Structures are given as structure tokens and as C-alpha cells.
Amino acid sequence: MPPPTTLQLSADHFGIAEVVAPLVEPSLEGEGGLSSSAPPMLHQTPQMKRLSTPWAICLTRAEQLAQCRLADGIVLDPACGSGMQLYAYCARLGRPGLGIELDSDAALLAAANGKRVWDAHGGDWGAKTQVVLGDGTDAAAALAAAGLSERPVAVLHVDPARPQDAQRHSLDEMQPPLSELVGSWADHLAEGPVGPAIIIDLSPRLSDAQREEVGEILGARWQDSPITWEWVSKGQGRIDRLTVWFGGAADARSPARMLRLLTDGSVVRFAGESITATTDISSTPQPGQWLTIVDSALLSSGLQQQWLRKAISHRSPSRWLRTDGRRPLLLTDIPLRMDDPKVSSFVSTTGEIMSQAKLPPNEAGIESILVSARSAYLARLTLRCSLSPGLQPILQQALDKGLKIHPRGKQGFLIDADTPDGPGWFICRVP
């Protein structure tokens, strides 16, 4: 491994790469604020493009970090890629940064990208910000190359590369590997009253055991520091990011945090204690009650109780009929407060139960389901239950055809739920 090389922020490094982050506004140059709708025109190689953090997420995190009490010092990203996240922090906090990158193309472009963000947002952080082409797990060598000494790092953020196409992978397969990274940097992190500030971007597919392992790597070194696990979703039940905020970067009152990024740039946030939801199928749902398919990302965070408190009055009963899979299902006696975006952004579908299907959704049962849907005056009944992929379009077509008689009727859905008597299918009307 050649010795690390230091690069100052400069447009001179631009050259070989394609521009991928689109400029929504014609130019960001001269704009004072950071905006999620106007990503800076940063340069990335195709490899960096695949790995880079969406600008809206970079900004949301920078805003969150700005609320934390940090020690004096720089922001470090020892695997900085395009540098987007690093510079979002630097610009928001007004602090110099140090990016380290093993890949020479990425390091050059990161140094050029830094100049873009600095020019756009001003401040004096850029003059002291550097990118080191080298190994992020060799803290001593990188600091020597950058001319930094003592404990210069106020915040360590890292987003390690993960093996591609692997459903499951071990923590050591992340590049750079976490334990090595933490071991190498621990003595160079400035510590506040609750330890150093560390933010680690992890695979959304990490198992609970692997999450524990991450907690242990950090906890072994700083026993009493708080930890906040954060789930970020852009919708459709997908978890886009799983991040651990540790020590000075954590919210000591909230071991868990759920962020839903909305398309208008706003963020819906829940924070608190993570509690695993339990199912209750002790009685069969009845007409007049409400069934809601809830975003599975919310249940992954364990913050569904906080959401539920916004969704219905705390005096009104509710229970989970299903908590796992892609369609967690909630039963309530009353409709949810869907006019509140904090509620609706986690709802996939909600509707009032009109009836329970007498027969299962198959070719023999579809006629009886159609009769019930017609008497509920539905213009469409969308199948939201588990069906074989071959059967689904056939049944949906039969329903669409059979419900043409009520073109002005309401929308509905058919959902499956376990009952004390086995599987049940419910015809629901969307309000």
C-alpha cells in the first residue's frame, strides 16, 4: 500500500467522471441554504453512484447532527466515497472535514466535489478540509498525512461498502470493517460528557443479532455512552437506511428513531423506546371495524406505539392482527386520523370492514365475493391478500369486470387476516 496522499479541495481534480447527481435548479452556485430539492452537481464514477447516499438523507442527517452537543474538532469520514455526506455535515456545522478514500478516482472526485459544495455554501470550513487517498483503517497514517494531531475528530461518520447481492453478510465483510475502524480511531476521537460522536451507516438488511454485535463493538470501548438506532424510509415499506448514532451523536432519551422522508422534502419523525409489536387474533374482526395495512418499516423500528397514539384516540381499542411480512395489519374500532401526514405517511391502505367473505378468493369463491362487493357499492375491489402469482391477475380481472355496474362507487380492498377459526378474508371500503 503506497503512503497516503493528501488532496486539498479543488476543481482541478475534475476530469474523468460522469455527472450523476442532477441539478434540479439550473445552478446552486451562489445559493446560501442547503436544499434537498437542489442537490449540488457532484461528480461520481458509476461505482460511486451505486454507493452514494441520497442528498435528501445527507441533509436530514446534517440537520440532526446540528442539534447535538459536539466536542471541538473536525468531521471525519474514513470511507468518504463522493464526499456528499461529509460535505453536508461540514456545510451545516461550519466545521472542516477529513475524508479518506481508498479508491483513487473516488478520492480525486471527492476533493473536487468538496470545492463545489464549499463554493455553493460559503463559510471557511473548506480551506481546512482535506481528502486523503489512503486506508481509512490506518488512523495514524491518515492523520500524519493531513498534518493533524492530538484528538482532532469531533464526529466520525462512516458508511462502509457492503457486499453486493448478498441477502446476509457478516459485519467483517463491510469495507472498511467496523471493528478495525473503531479500534484504529478510538484514541483520536474527541470525547464529550457522553463519549465520542459516532454515526455508522449500516445495511438495512442487518439482523437483530448483527445489530447487537455493532452495539457490542462500540459498547466495549465506551460502556456508558448512549445509542440511538435509526430507520429511514422513503416509503413502500422499504427501509432505505439503518444507522446507529452513538455517544455525542445519540439522542440519550431515544434508543430508536424512525424517519419517513416525504417527496416534498419534509420528514416525519418518531422517536422513543423500541417495542416489538405482538399480535392478537383472539376474536374475528367485525363489520364496522377498520383494517389498516401499515408500513412494515414502522414495525421494524418498534415505534408503532408512538404512531398509534397519533392515529387514534388512546381510549379507543386497537390490536395487531399481523406484525411481520410486507403487510402488517392493524384492527381499530374507529377510522384513523388520515388528515395528519404523521399518520397517513405510514399507511398503505385503510378501510372499513363491510363483510367477511364466505368463501376464499379463488375461482369458485369469486362470485360470492363479487356479490358482497356490489352490496357494499364498490367500484373496485383491489386484492391485498396473499395469492399465487398466477391466480392474482385472473381474480383481479374478474373483480374489475364484475364491478363495472357501480362506476361511481367507492374503492375497496380484500385483505386476509388470521382469525380464531383459521384464515379469513375481509371486504373493506376505503373512506
Ligand X SMILES: C[S@@+](CC[C@H](N)C(=O)[O-])C[C@H]1O[C@@H](n2cnc3c(N)ncnc32)[C@H](O)[C@@H]1O
Binding site for ligand X (CB under 6 A): 48, 51-53, 78-79, 81-82, 84-85, 100-103, 106, 135-137, 159-161, 175-176
Shortest Å, Cβ 54 to ligand X: 8
CA 138 → CA 98, 135, 167, 266, distances in Å?
14, 6, 29, 38
Contact call for residues 244 and 227 (beta carbons, < 8 A): yes
Contact call for residues 146 and 136 (beta carbons, < 8 A): no
Of 84 and 268, the one with the shorter C-beta distance to ligand X is 84
Cα–Cα distance measured from residue 394 to residue 361, given in angstroms and rounded to the nearest whole number: 11
The DSSP-derived string for 12-36 is GG--SPEE-S--SSS--TT--S--T
Grid cell in block for residue 101: 478514500
Of 135 and 295, the one with the shorter C-beta distance to ligand X is 135
Q: Which residue reads 390490536 in cell numbers? A: 319
The closest of 111, 116, 112 to 98, measured between CA atoms, is 111
Q: Which amino acid is at 218?
A: L
- Collapsing DSSP states into helix, strand and coil, what is residue 214? helix
Shortest Å, Cβ 248 to ligand X: 20
Of 198 and 378, the one with the shorter C-beta distance to ligand X is 198
Q: Which residue reads 438523507 in cell numbers? A: 57
Shortest Å, Cβ 48 to ligand X: 6
Shortest Å, Cβ 187 to ligand X: 18
Of 43 and 380, the one with the shorter C-beta distance to ligand X is 43
Of 160 and 328, the one with the shorter C-beta distance to ligand X is 160
Shortest Å, Cβ 390 to ligand X: 39
Provide the total of helices (H) and of strands (E) in the chain, helices listed first: 12, 19
Nearest residue to ligand X, scored by beta-carbon proximity: 81
Shortest Å, Cβ 215 to ligand X: 21
The closest of 114, 67, 64 to 91, measured between CA atoms, is 114
Of 199 and 376, the one with the shorter C-beta distance to ligand X is 199
Of 52 and 64, the one with the shorter C-beta distance to ligand X is 52
Cα–Cα distance measured from residue 224 to residue 335, given in angstroms and rounded to the nearest whole number: 43
Shortest Å, Cβ 181 to ligand X: 8
Q: Alpha-carbon dihedral of residues 251, 252, 256, 262, nearest 10 degrees?
A: -20
Shortest Å, Cβ 77 to ligand X: 7
- Collapsing DSSP states into helix, strand and coil, what is residue 309? helix
Cα–Cα distance measured from residue 21 to residue 43, given in angstroms and rounded to the nearest whole number: 7
Shortest Å, Cβ 393 to ligand X: 38
Asked if the bond preceding 176 is cis, omega within 30° of 0, the reply is yes
Of 57 and 227, the one with the shorter C-beta distance to ligand X is 57
Cα–Cα distance measured from residue 373 to residue 402, given in angstroms and rounded to the nearest whole number: 9
Cα–Cα distance measured from residue 428 to residue 355, given in angstroms and rounded to the nearest whole number: 7
Of 161 and 334, the one with the shorter C-beta distance to ligand X is 161
Cα–Cα distance measured from residue 196 to residue 174, given in angstroms and rounded to the nearest whole number: 22
Shortest Å, Cβ 272 to ligand X: 28
Of 31 and 173, the one with the shorter C-beta distance to ligand X is 173
Cα–Cα distance measured from residue 325 to residue 327, given in angstroms and rounded to the nearest whole number: 6
